[in-house]
Structure 1
Amino acid sequence: MEIQGHFDHFNFNVTDLSRSLAFYKEALGFVPVGEIDGPEGQFKIMYLGDGHSLFRLELTWLRDHPQKYNLGECEFHLCVRVEGDYATVREQHRSMGCLCYENIEMGLYFIQDPDGYWIEILPAENQVKI
């Protein structure tokens, strides 16, 4: 039997769910599309969608984990393609103070969310490099 999987969601654990929801809405236009409340308020999971694909970003808040998460060397990341004028989007991220790394030669940059997770930002496929 051949197994055929497909991507469903990716998880980031966050320390302040409201702050993270506001960041993802402003930086990438991601909005809540589902949620799960843990028993007795132990945790809350929010699923964010982009309005274009079925893939979701899961933000998990744990009541008993208020400290920052250890992200190691932060060698993992989520990648998002953005619509619109790429330079304008990049300047919005710069003005938000979340742009943390640029590679002009490769035509990409990274933003960092409030918990330190890196998100690679690429232009829509039909756009030229910056």
Structure 2
Amino acid sequence: MQFTFDHNNINVLDLEKSLAFYKEALGFEEVRRKEAEDGSFILVYLGDGVTSHTLELTWLRDWKEPYNLGDNEFHLAIRVDDFDGAYEHHKKMDCICFENKKMGIYFINDPDGYWVEILPPKK
């Protein structure tokens, strides 16, 4: 028996704002979309253009309050080939929320408060 990663899901309040953020910040593109017939939800799957793993953004029509992220200890981790370039890009976007220079990583904050860890290339 073999288990493989397929996707991760996060819920978002403003789908268009989140789509724009993930495209600008990480270059993720929409690869698939499912809309409920009654309009109650939209699922949008974003891909990195390299792997088959996707990020599923779930928008719920009737949800109006910010999501409770608890202590926000969970996060996505994204590796980038140009760490310094990515850092400057995210700095200009003003979305860096935490840096750990000792570990050589930093985190960006998406529109709903989810953290995304940015990792340098593997050595």
Q: Same fold (TM over 0.5)?
A: yes
Q: Which runs of 4+ in 1 moved over 3 A?
A: none
Matched residue, 2:89: 92
Matched residue, 1:53: 51
RMSD (CA atoms): 0.8
Q: Distance in 2 between matches of 1:46 and 1:83?
A: 26
Q: Distance in 1 between matches of 2:64 and 2:52?
A: 30
Q: Any idea what SS the aligned residue of 1:95 has?
A: helix
- What TM-score, normalized to structure 1? 0.92
Letter in 1 for 2:102: E
Q: Any idea what SS the aligned residue of 2:38 has?
A: helix
Matched residue, 1:74: 72
Larger Rg over CA atoms: 1
Note the 1:10-29 alignment, pairs <5 A: 10-29=8-27
Q: Any idea what SS the aligned residue of 2:45 has?
A: strand
Q: Distance in 1 between matches of 2:14 and 2:56?
A: 14
Gaps of 5+ in 1: none
Letter in 1 for 2:10: F
Q: Distance in 1 between matches of 2:121 and 2:48?
A: 14
Matched residue, 1:40: 38
- What TM-score, normalized to structure 2? 0.97
Confirm whether residue 6 of structure 1 aligns to residue 4 of structure 2: yes
Matched residue, 2:113: 116
Gaps of 5+ in 2: none
Letter in 2 for 1:61: W
Q: Any idea what SS the aligned residue of 1:60 has?
A: strand
Aligned length: 123
